Structures are given as structure tokens and as C-alpha cells.
Amino acid sequence: MRALSLEDFGADDVTPQVTVPEVKTDDRFDEGYNAGRDEALAGIEAEQSRISESLAKGLNDAIAARRDAVGGTIAALEPALREIFDKLLPHAAEKAFVGILVDELRELARSAADRLSLRVAPEETAAIGNLLKRTDLGELQVDVVGEPTLSMSQALIRWPGQERRIDLEETLGALDSALDAFLASATGADADFRPGDSVSGAPEADDTFEIPDLENPDPKMHQKEAING
């Protein structure tokens, strides 16, 4: 026969033992700090990237607008520039030519012991000869000879073993070429530029076009001396 087992209510209660893992406070703080720092740095980088892109777009748009404005202004001025280069400059060169020629002859006459031979366009021979008669050069130092290969505003001064060329026609031709190149670069560059393009090709602030003084031209542009051996 099986024995009956009854609960003993008089025994002391036994509290179960529960083991709680120990969490270090320092580790928890470091993890939270690192996570917050990484999140903050990511936000700063994203904001810097957004600002950089916005500034780059604004700069490109400003350059495009500037180029459009400059190109439009130059295109509007082109007829006036052509008028100046085609009519006013040749007239100014014609007026300056005689003065330049006389100055060159006077300088050479002081240093050259022999007579000077001045070759000019045939249609200018009489006028220049009469002009020289009224100067201190006279006919004793300069012989004026017509040269069919020379055009207006061209002259060739010769003396034994040397020669000097005065060529304002060449100077005017160089000015016309410079004007064409300037107009092409000023108006053509704008057509190919769009907002967002690289700004590395933007024109420098000092890009200018200068018209030389025909009254005092650079002698290197139109004079040549050759010494025969």
C-alpha cells in the first residue's frame, strides 16, 4: 500500500536564487556616446555636402548669367566696333603715317652719313616729296621713289647695307584679326556654357581688348632692319 505524501506547511519558505548579469556603467556610456557622435558627424557631413553643392550651383548659374550678359553686350556693340575698325582706324592710320615717317627719317638722318632712299606707294610720292621739302630734311638727304609693291601707309627706308620698313597696313590687319578673335571668343564661349558646367573655363577678370595708339605705335610691329653681310 502506497504512503500518502502531504505538504508540510510548517517548513520555512525558500526564496529562489536569480542571477542578474552585471552591466558596467562605463561600457553603456561609451556605446551611447559613440553612437551619438557618429550620428552627429554624419549629419554634419551631409549638411556640408548640401551646402557645397548649393554654392557650386549658384556660382555656375552666376557665371552663366554673367557670360550671357557680356556676350549680349558685345554682340550689340559689334556693328560699332566694325565701324571703328573698318573706317576710323584706317583714317587715323593714314593721318599718323606721315608723322611717323618723318620722325623715322629725322632719326636716321642724324646717324646715317649717306643719303636715304625712301620708297612709298607711287600715288603718295608727290605728296610726301612736297612734305619733306617743308621739313628740315629737304631733298639733300632723302630721295623719294615710287614702289609699286607698296600700298598706302607702307614705306621702306634704305641706306647702304640696311633698310627699315614702316607698315601700318600690317598693323591694321593684325587689329582686324584680333577683333575677329575677340568677338568669336566672347560670343562663342557663351553658347556652349550651361549652368552646372565646370567653372574652370571661366574667363579671367582681366580679359580685355586694347586698341594701340597709332600716334605712337610699337616699332616692333611695323619696322624691320636688315644688315647685309
DSSP string, 27-89: HHHHHHHHHHHHHHHHHHHHHHHHHHHHHHHHHHHHHHHHHHHHHHHHHHHHHHHHHIIIIIH
In a domain, 200, yes or no: no
Q: Which residue has the cell 556654357?
A: 193
Contact call for residues 182 and 209 (beta carbons, < 8 A): yes
What pLDDT is attached to residue 205? Answer: 42
Q: Which residues in the chain come in under a pLDDT of 50? A: 189-209, 211-212, 214-215, 219-229
Residue type, 221: M
CA-CA distance, 194 to 68, in Å (whole number)?
10
Total number of domains constituting the chain: 1
Instruction: Establish if 189 belongs to a structural domain.
Output: yes
- Write down the pLDDT at residue 82: 75
User: Would residue 106 count as lying in a domain?
Assistant: yes
**Is 152 part of any domain?**
yes
What CA–CA distance (Å, rounded) separates 129 from 71? Answer: 48
What is the pTM (predicted TM-score) of this model?
0.43
Task: Report the alpha-carbon distance of residue 187 to residue 72 in Å, rounded.
Answer: 8
Tell whether 94 is covered by a domain: yes
Q: What are phi and psi of 190, to 5 degrees?
A: -70, -30
Bridging pattern class, strands 142-146 and 116-120: parallel
- Residue 180 forms part of a structural domain: yes
Residue 171 lies in a domain: yes
Q: Domain of residue 141: give its range.
A: 81-193+213-222
Whole-angstrom distance, CA of residue 56 vs CA of residue 152: 54
What is the pLDDT at residue 93?
74
On whether residue 177 sits in a domain, the answer given is yes
Cβ-proximal residues to 152 (8 Å cutoff; 6+ apart), any chain? 94, 97, 121, 123, 124, 169
Quote the pLDDT of residue 3. Answer: 59
Among 75, 55, 53, CA closest to 63: 55
* Sign of the C-alpha dihedral computed for residues 75, 80, 81 and 85 taken in this order: positive
